Chain A
Amino acid sequence: GAGVSQSPSNKVTEKGKDVELRCDPISGHTALYWYRQSLGQGLEFLIYFQGNSAPDKSGLPSDRFSAERTGGSVSTLTIQRTQQEDSAVYLCASSSTGVQAFFGQGTRLTVV
């Protein structure tokens, strides 16, 4: 497809388990973003990849969170030892420099 694709769309996990969230950006987009949105809240920046540059990880809330982007394309956000406060919608977006970001539909993560 032509848009940003995220999988899974929904994920329910037990507290303490690890989860991986996947993002397929639009082909050719050099920038990739991860945001988190808790219910009724704004978008919290997590991490930003731009081409081959070192990622901006300044938004990751703890060392339980990590992300990688392989081959400048697909990205995986990993949350280790999930906690209930990690429950949120995780949004991925991609863009070309200076152009608007296109967002995926998000992954709704529920930690029980």
Chain B
Amino acid sequence: AQKVTQAQTEISVVEKEDVTLDCVYETRDTTYYLFWYKQPPSGELVFLIRRNSFDEQNEISGRYSWNFQKSTSSFNFTITASQVVDSAVYFCAPTYSSASKIIFGSGTRLSIRP
């Protein structure tokens, strides 16, 4: 089966704390893409990052960082020094070459308290 699991349904932290959102995917494909999207309270889906299956290099973008581990089929997302504006639902979304369509995880609702 090809699927994606975001085991954390909701996370609530105090501002300035670091927080990691987990994503575990499952596929037999060797070629695939992994995405993270953010959905703030306004509702629009905002693209955050894309990673292909051949590039395990981790990435840092400002306060955001991503840890891609093929050995554990995980693509985790960390926000450093969280801010209230980071409050949103975050979706991990793989695209597998054999299926082509984007599969969305169930999402993690992140609340940052002032």
* Interface pair A45/B104, CB less than 8 Å apart: yes
Q: Which residues A34-84 have CB closer than 8 A to chain B?
A: 35, 42-43, 45, 48, 50, 56
Question: Main secondary structure on chain B at its contact with chain A?
Answer: loop
* Interface pair A100/B35, CB less than 8 Å apart: yes
Cα-based distance from A42 to B106 in the complex (angstroms): 5
Q: Which residues B25-57 have CB closer than 8 A to chain A?
A: 33, 35, 43-45, 47, 50, 52
B residues in contact with A42, CB < 8 Å: 91, 104-107
* Interface pair A102/B52, CB less than 8 Å apart: no
Closest to A102 in B: B47
A residues in contact with B103, CB < 8 Å: 45
Cα-based distance from A95 to B47 in the complex (angstroms): 12
A residues in contact with B105, CB < 8 Å: 42
- Count contacts on B: residues with CB < 8 A to the other chain: 19
A residues in contact with B50, CB < 8 Å: 99-100
Cα-based distance from A95 to B99 in the complex (angstroms): 15
* Interface pair A91/B45, CB less than 8 Å apart: yes
- Count contacts on A: residues with CB < 8 A to the other chain: 21
Closest to A59 in B: B101
B residues in contact with A103, CB < 8 Å: 44-45
* Interface pair B101/A43, CB less than 8 Å apart: no
Q: Is B95 an interface residue (CB 8 A)?
A: yes
Interface residues of A (CB under 8 A from B): 31, 33, 35, 42-43, 45, 48, 50, 56, 89, 91, 93, 95, 98-103, 105-106
Interface residues of B (CB under 8 A from A): 33, 35, 43-45, 47, 50, 52, 91, 95, 99-107
